[in-house]
Structure 1
Amino acid sequence: MTLSLDVMSLGVPEVKDAREFYTATFAPTAEEHGGHVNLDLHGTGQLALYGNEALAADAKKDTPAPDAGFRGYVMTFIVKQPTEVKNVVDAAVQGGATVLKPAKKSLFGAFSAVYRAPDGSIWKVAAPHKKDKGPVSEPAVPTETAALLGVADMKAAKSFYEALGMKVDKDYKHYADFHPDSGTCRLGLMPRGTLAKDAGVEDGGATGFAAAVLHRRAGSREEVDATLTAAASAGGGIAVEAGESEDGYSGHFTDPDGFLWKVTAA
């Protein structure tokens, strides 16, 4: 059993509007599945768009989606060239995004920008160099995507995910991440206040359901059960007991900081 971030599911006010925004911004491959849309981010992970109420109901949450405050996580989209960062952000702004940090040279991520999407999620777009060092791809094709989680205790959060089989890649005082499987999002950890500051927002303000679920596609029902058991033993919680669902067989757990995961076997 090894946990991986196969899909990042976001709750949005209107799935149709969100699909148009993300398609214009990232140019992903899109597939409709009933009431939600799956977006393949050029082989570096998948994004799923659900209506806020549908995502909350599936997780047995009855609280509303949060306001514009910090939800505790930041999605990242890593490209090759600084010009590609600018192009992605320009496309996002045209679609209604709000710039939180304009594109510029930076220490953490050589060239980066941060914006808030119309659905309320925060995205950081970054390139490893301060100047273009090759052809500019249009549309920009990411080298990787990641979900950065703001946590209260780096050591405890890291230990939790290691207990679920994830292997640490980078490990610093204020940042750690795990080796991503091919075609999946990278998972990273930062102290919550540090992550909020890096995103250019105040730490606080959001209330209720965070409108985000990290999704693992398991290989069997036994793996679903084993993952939930391991999560509970490692300091997490069972949010929804495993059972039959529209996806086949699934259950939800939370990590020590309350981030919600769904594990599914088709």
Structure 2
Amino acid sequence: MNNITAAATIDSVVLEVSDPTAATAFYEAAFGLGDRLRVRASDAPTTGFRGFVLSLVVAQPSTVDSLVGTAVAGGATVIKPAKKSFWGYGAVLQAPDGTLWKIATSAKRDTAPANREIDSFVVLLGVENVKNTKQFYVDHGLAAGKSFGSKYVEFDTPSSTIKLALYGRRAAAKDAGVPAEGSGSHRVVLTGGVGAFADPDGFEWEITPA
């Protein structure tokens, strides 16, 4: 396993939206992610699946229900209702700006008082070739953590509050409950110390402003 470089951090996810004021109000009320999630104006054409899903991993089902409830109250659409499965409990939503969100826990029952704490914020990129894109990010200083061959990779970013994972595009869309077809802008930019570039699937990165 490669060692992650000190500069290879992910500081924030920037969503490009048509109405930044409305998007900011929605996300502050729904998830409260603070500076980890920012928005900026964009009218770049985009249709269908944008190639990524943002995931919030929490400790127990009541937290999933709470976050889903505030998001739906703010205008989110339910793509997959919250339910139990062999892996835990979760739901998939689409925010008013079009971004897909998966909210999930590996627990199947509550073991503590209800809360809204988020344990992990994960950016899941749906890519055409997981193996090649994995190597691209390793070459840019990220270390592969969990890896399941050419199907799934999660990078080891211990100094970041945001995690990065790769999944095949069709598998990512299927998991989210949407068709895999889509074109145009991804409408997302990742910022941090990894570098300024576009990856093999066109996902853009920027250096975090000083």
Q: Give me the TM-score of the superposition, normalised by structure 1.
A: 0.72
Q: Which residue of 2 aligns with 1:253?
A: 197
Gaps of 5+ in 1: 29-38, 41-45, 54-63, 219-226, 228-251
Q: Which residue of 1 aligns with 2:103?
A: 125
Match of 2:25 among 6, 20, 42: 20
Deviation at 1:27, TM superposition (A): 2.8
- 1:196 alignment partner, SS class: helix
CA contact (8 A) 1:160 1:255 kept: yes
- 1:83 alignment partner, SS class: helix
**Greater Rg over alpha carbons, structure:** 1
Deviation at 1:184, TM superposition (A): 2.4
Deviation at 1:65, TM superposition (A): 3.5
Match of 1:90 among 69, 74, 78: 69
Q: Which residue of 2 aligns with 1:104?
A: 83
Deviation at 1:169, TM superposition (A): 1.3
Deviation at 1:15, TM superposition (A): 1.4
Matches within 5 A, 1:20-169: 20-28=25-33, 39-40=34-35, 46-53=36-43, 64-67=44-47, 69-107=48-86, 109-137=87-115, 140-169=116-145
Deviation at 1:265, TM superposition (A): 5.2
Flag the structure with more relative contact order, 1 or 2, with Cα contacts below 8 A and sequence separation at least 6: 2
Matches within 5 A, 1:200-239: 200-205=177-182, 207-217=183-193, 227=195
Please tell me whether residue 195 in structure 1 is matched to residue 172 in structure 2: yes
Residues of 2 paired with 1:3 and 1:27: CA distance? 25
Q: Give me the TM-score of the superposition, normalised by structure 2.
A: 0.91
CA contact (8 A) 1:115 1:124 kept: yes
Deviation at 1:208, TM superposition (A): 2.0
The worse-fitting range, judged by mean Cα deviation, of 3-12 and 94-103 is 3-12
| TM-superposition CA deviations, 1:65-118 (whole Å, max 9, x none) | 413x100000001111101101111111111111111101124x4111000000
Residues of 2 paired with 1:182 and 1:112: CA distance? 27
CA contact (8 A) 1:217 1:265 kept: no
Deviation at 1:182, TM superposition (A): 3.3
Q: Which residue of 1 aligns with 2:10?
A: 5
| TM-superposition CA deviations, 1:133-157 (whole Å, max 9, x none) | 22211xx111110100011111111
How large is the Cα RMSD of the aligned pairs? 1.6
Q: Which amino acid aligns with 1:66?
A: T
Q: Which amino acid aligns with 2:58?
A: V
Residues of 1 paired with 2:193 and 2:130: CA distance? 26
Q: Which amino acid aligns with 2:61?
A: P
Gaps of 5+ in 2: none
Residues of 1 paired with 2:45 and 2:10: CA distance? 22
What is the number of residues matched between the two proteins? 204
Residues of 2 paired with 1:112 and 1:82: CA distance? 8
| TM-superposition CA deviations, 1:119-176 (whole Å, max 9, x none) | 0110000112011122211xx1111101000111111111111111111111114211
